[in-house]
Amino acid sequence: MKITDVHCHHLSYPLQEPFANSRQWVHERTAHVIEIHTDNGLVGWGEGTAAIAVDAIKAHLFGRDPFDSRRIWVDLADQGWGNVAAISAVDIALWDLQGKAVGRPIYQLLGGASRLKIPAYASGLFRRQRPHNTKALTDEAQGYVDAGFGAIKMKVGLGRHYDVTNVAAIRQAVGDQILFAVDANCGYDVGTAIDVGRRLADYDPYWYEEPVAKNDVAGNIEVRLALPGLRIAGGEQLQGLSAYRDLISQRAFDIVQPDISIAGGFTECQRIEALAQAHGLRVLPHMWGTAIRLAATAHWQATIPDDPEGLCPQPSLFEFDMTENGLRTELACEPILATDGFVSVPEAPGLGIEIDRKVLERYSIN
């Protein structure tokens, strides 16, 4: 099997209603999608978060065998493709092709699934421009519980009063049994993160995500040690194994959250997973993208064993983005949904999804 053609698509989906995390208002959802063709008529799809220089990648990939995915990864990195968020897209597409070539889903190529139904958490509860914001947030949270989710995540990092008021109201609304995580999107300095974390601890947050800067090893450690019993999560923005090295080896996090379209695709995420496992840290992938990233994350997360395995393992929780995004809900002919709080891993060859080209064209801004 040889690569014969490559196309890149820059996609944009305008939101009907903008929303915010602690860092920015979001008005559109964007994605960089790659499509790789081979001489046996197969097409592989991948998604990254950085633009791909199409002529350069064509010149590099033409004639190569998609089964040489690790070698291609290393060659791209060595040849100045420093942006791992672009290499991620190539890597995912190569694994899609490998699966399609042998008629197997990617989770089998990775060594087999630990689960084909992954418990999901509803990732939403953003800040919006609306009156009675706290009531709207509690209604949204209750809607997720009513839909069958046993776990939810809310945006914090929006000021001590905002965070404490809204976390308290949501905990009150959903009760004690719902797993409730909070995400500050690196919105605080160390002192503020600790101050807010201590106040939020009254409402039993399961994890406290990105309390401080993404690559601040000492800062994350300081927050973690100051908040015993509260798990610190992070890593979604990091590119490549080496970016994780000190944060994992110095135990700056309890939960590591690589994003398959940023951290380096299947090839690199398996290495990051191994490093985390060697240090006793849990890996719960980040997911914030199109149907392609959703499928890729499901295949990878399906294969991450419970650690330790046992009668009552810590749950593998899939980040299910609940916000409006046609790139997630429309791009695959059969969308991947969270049903009764679980995501089913596609079982068809490769990523197991078929791309709707009309939708691809509709949102393309190339």
List beta partners, residue 12.
30
Q: How far is the CB of 111 from Ca ion (least distance, A)?
A: 27
- E strand or H helix that includes residue 330: none
Q: How far is the CB of 325 from Ca ion (least distance, A)?
A: 15
| Cα angle 178-339-142, degrees, rounded to a multiple of 5 | 35
Task: Assign 254 to helix, strand or coil.
Answer: coil
Cβ-based nearer residue to Ca ion, 47 or 183: 183
Q: How far is the CB of 199 from Ca ion (least distance, A)?
A: 20
Q: How far is the CB of 181 from Ca ion (least distance, A)?
A: 9
Q: How far is the CB of 185 from Ca ion (least distance, A)?
A: 6
Cβ-based nearer residue to Ca ion, 81 or 121: 121
Amino acid at 53: A
CA 69, CA 73: separation in Å to the nearest integer?
Answer: 6
Q: Whole-angstrom distance between the N-terminal and C-terminal Cα of the chain?
A: 28
Task: Assign 5 to helix, strand or coil.
Answer: strand
CA 211, CA 223: separation in Å to the nearest integer?
Answer: 8
The first and second tokens of residue 94, run together, are 């190569």
Task: Assign 196 to helix, strand or coil.
Answer: helix
CA 102, CA 13: separation in Å to the nearest integer?
Answer: 34
Print burial letters for 67-85: b (CB count within 10 Å at least 16), e (below 16).
bebeebbeebbeeebebbb
CA 366, CA 311: separation in Å to the nearest integer?
Answer: 50
Give the residue nearest to Ca ion (CB). Answer: 183
Q: How far is the CB of 23 from Ca ion (least distance, A)?
A: 10
Concatenated DSSP letters for 64-107? Answer: --GGGHHHHHHHHHHTT---HHHHHHHHHHHHHHHHHHHT-BHH
Cβ-based nearer residue to Ca ion, 50 or 125: 125
Neighbour tally for 281: CB within 10 Å: 23
Cβ-based nearer residue to Ca ion, 46 or 157: 157
The first and second tokens of residue 260, run together, are 């398959």
Q: Which of 35, 183, 268, 330 binds Ca ion (CB under 5 A)?
A: 183
Stretch that binds Ca ion, among 175-183, 214-222, 239-247, 347-355 (CB under 5 A): 175-183
Stretch that binds Ca ion, among 54-62, 140-148, 180-188, 331-339 (CB under 5 A): 180-188
CA 49, CA 261: separation in Å to the nearest integer?
Answer: 6
Stretch that binds Ca ion, among 111-119, 181-189, 225-233, 246-254 (CB under 5 A): 181-189
Stretch that binds Ca ion, among 143-151, 156-164, 176-184, 193-201 (CB under 5 A): 176-184
Residue 216 contacts Ca ion per CB under 5 A:
no
Q: State the catalytic residues.
A: 286
Stretch that binds Ca ion, among 43-51, 84-92, 141-149, 178-186 (CB under 5 A): 178-186
Report how many residues bind Ca ion under the rule CB under 5 A. 1
- Closest Cα partner for 361 from 331, 334, 333, 336? 331
List beta partners, residue 293.
none
Q: How far is the CB of 236 from Ca ion (least distance, A)?
A: 5
CA 211, CA 194: separation in Å to the nearest integer?
Answer: 8
Binding site for Ca ion (CB under 5 A): 183
